[in-house]
Amino acid sequence: MTTDSLQTALFDTHVSLGGRMVPFGGWDMPVQYPEGILAEVKAVRTATGVFDVSHMGRLYLSGPKATEFLDWVLTGSASTLRVGRARYCMICNEKGGVIDDTIFYRLSEDRYLLIPNAGNRPAVVAWFQRWIDEKFSPGCIMEDVTTSTGLLAFQGPGTPDAMDKLADKPVSEIRPFSWTERAIQGAPVLVGRTGYTGEDGFEMMIQGNDVVKVWTALTDSGAVPCGLGARDVLRLEAALPLHGHEINEETTPIEAGLDRFVRSEGRYLGSDVLQRQQENGVERKLVGFTLPGRSAPRAGYSLLHQGEIIGIVTSGSYSPTLDTSIGMGYVLERHAEPGTPLDLDIRGRTAQVTLTELPFYSRPRRS
Amino acid sequence: MSPEDRKYTQEHEWIKVEDVATKTAVAGITDFAQDQLGDIVYFELPKVGENVTHLVKMGEVESVKAVSDLFSPITGEVSEINEKLLDHPELVNQDPFGEGWLIKVTMNDVAEAEGLMSAQDYDAYTAGL
């Protein structure tokens, strides 16, 4: 581990649990605990798991122009988001390239909480400040509370019942992409019904000195501690994009199949390019594919059609939930139809893959 | 503590001489290696009859997170591979020095194995990593 990495409030807890710490996005984070990634994935798919995601950023945007500002820098609308709700969308540059993807919560009429990725927080903060200074000041203030707070993701089909038992008041009544305020063990928590695993679940922002207390309450309830490795497998099974892989400053949300998170009307950063692509289509598209067996596609591998390279893998893994190997990548639009057979170059060995509908995994609907 | 009845390489493979007369040995990866890899999901092993060379790549191991090369601890001809690993690669996580062996080899020269690291040296080596 590197000495210049940041540590979350749970660093000592992770080490004492046997977590293998690795540098990630400027932080020292557990990639897995002793039971291993497969066991952690299984816990989230069948019961409950808890992730320390305090490395992700937490920014408050407030003031009379905060809504107008977010409408300018986000592909999703802030003005149509009701207080009490949350929304997923992108932060794009003028060319429609993705600086980051984010979830933002409307806390009150003029106050929002926005969550950037760990490694992108400096870029997002700089980008936001530039536009606040240029167009929205005075009237919009940004406050970065990442290091004074913590963020936990509590994920899995058992989480609604567990949350109702742990919190001072029921939580399971809130709908997906809504948030509320509760207390766990006396610690105030901002709870949103959101996540990055494809399962039902909750994400909780907690003041820094209370994070360990809430983590312990969750693990005492039976939640399995889960690391970055399991998080990556889970998000890939659910076909959720990861910045730096499926999306980056050189790709647009339209190419990544994220049209539904992009406003087709109104002017905002990137809207010229994005709305033109919505109208006219794109040359390459993000696709998902499966290949039999357990040898996984990895980022950077080539996808071929009749010997010609027509695409590149962005993420891949063995999927324990589906017991097959899965991957996502970009291919030329004319080869992007589900059902298309393509060849994958696995370090010189060729394997046939089949394009498939995304997501690979959808959680069973429960009554 | 790694078992003392075998020898080790810096690439975290072990070799155990089973019969000096017939020059047969069995090889695998160490407990340290499987722990570093995490959940193993796939092995690409050499075929029976193939020649392998000391410290030259002989195959690949994939864990959930990464692909790593496998290096042969010894020079010789592969006489058997552990077929169980095709369906149960996790055997190497569970029992790397026993049920999770990778290949059996007919060695060119038994002395090559004798020259590798002892268990004590290997453990000292991994403690410093």
Residues of A in contact with B39 (CB under 8 A): 36-38
Residues of A in Cβ contact (< 8 Å) with B93: 36
Q: How many CB atoms lie within 10 A of CB B7?
A: 25
In-domain check, residue B2: no
Tell me the pairing of strands A141-144 and A302-305.
Answer: unpaired
CB contact under 8 A, B67 and A229: no
Query: Which of A1, A29, A38, A323 to mutate against chain B (most B CBs within 10 Å)?
Result: A38
Backbone conformation region of residue B95, classed left if phi is above 0, alpha if psi is from -120 to 50, else beta = beta
A98–chain B nearest CA distance, Å: 25
For strand A224-226 and strand A49-52, is the pairing parallel, antiparallel, or unpaired? Answer: parallel
B83 Cβ contact list (under 8 Å, min separation 6): none
Contact A233 B64 (CB under 8 A): yes
**Is B1 inside a domain boundary?**
no
A36 and B93 in contact by Cβ < 8 A? yes
Chain A residues touching B42 at Cβ < 8 A: 293-296, 318
Q: pLDDT truncated to tens, each residue of chain A (367 aa)?
A: 445 799 999 999 999 999 999 999 999 999 999 999 999 999 999 999 999 999 999 999 999 999 999 999 999 999 999 999 999 999 999 999 999 999 999 999 999 999 999 999 999 999 999 999 999 999 999 999 999 999 999 999 999 999 999 999 999 999 999 999 999 999 999 999 999 999 999 999 999 999 999 999 999 999 999 999 999 999 999 999 999 999 999 999 999 999 999 999 999 999 999 999 999 999 999 999 999 888 899 999 999 999 999 999 999 999 999 999 999 999 999 999 999 899 999 988 899 999 999 999 999 876 4
ipTM score: 0.78
CATH of domain A11-54+147-237: 3.30.1360.120
Q: Convert the pLDDT of each residue in B87-119 to its tens digit.
A: 899 999 999 999 999 999 999 999 999 999 999
The pairing of strands A49-52 and A149-155 is antiparallel
Number of domains observed in the structure of chain B: 1
User: Any idea what the CATH number is for the domain that residue B107 is in?
Assistant: 2.40.50.100
B121: containing domain:
7-127
Q: Which CATH superfamily is domain A283-356 in?
A: Aminomethyltransferase beta-barrel domains (2.40.30.110)
d(CA A125, CA A108): 21
Using 50, 70 and 90 to split pLDDT, how confident is the model at B129? confident
- Among chain B residues, CA nearest to A298: B66
| pLDDT category of residue B1 using cuts at 50, 70 and 90 | confident
What is the tens place of the pLDDT at every residue in B51-74?
999 999 999 999 988 889 999 999
Listed by start position, the domains of chain A span 11-54+147-237, 59-144, 283-356
Residue of B nearest to A293 (CA): B42
pLDDT recorded at residue A366: 62
Which residues of chain B does A31 touch, with a Cβ-Cβ cutoff of 8 Å? 65
The fold of A59-144 is Alpha-Beta Plaits (3.30.70)
